[in-house]
Amino acid sequence: MRYLLDTNTVSDFFRKHPAVLAHLRQVAPGDLAISSVTVMEIEYGMERQPSARTKFGQLWEDFQSDVHVLTYNTQDAVHTGRVRAHLARLGTPIGPFDLQLAGTALARRLTVVTNNTDEFSRVPELTLEDWR
């Protein structure tokens, strides 16, 4: 695995964003991962907008089968706690789900793929790519 896809990148895939699709075609599926946190965020969005499940539900199921789905674990939580404390000391917090993704990426040495670089760039030592 090399890449941890943020929820907005998965959403871009659903919406067939050309640049995101081009990057995804160039990466072996075994190099792609999403977090169980992203699963929660996508499921939440589909529950809030049932038309999204109708439109993207099968694509979402297929996507989950094609990538690694990482369960948030103790080491991810340790890294998340450290990042949260560091950012709190600086007065530059980020959202709780982004914290969990950052912690997961740091614990597993993955690159976060996101277009939310404003928040994620606050996290020291986190490698980012924006595929848009």
* pLDDT tens, residue by residue, 21-62: 999 999 998 999 999 999 999 999 999 999 999 999 999 999
Please spell the DSSP secondary structure of the chain, one letter per residue.
Answer: --EEE-HHHHHHHHTT-HHHHHHHHHS-GGGEEEEHHHHHHHHHHHHH-HHHHHHHHHHHHHHHHHSEEEPP-HHHHHHHHHHHHHHHHHT----HHHHHHHHHHHHHT-EEE-S-HHHHTTSTT--EE---
pTM here? 0.96
31 labelled binding-site residue: no
CATH H-level superfamily of 3-129: 5'-nuclease (3.40.50.1010)
User: Average pLDDT in the 66-82 region?
Assistant: 98
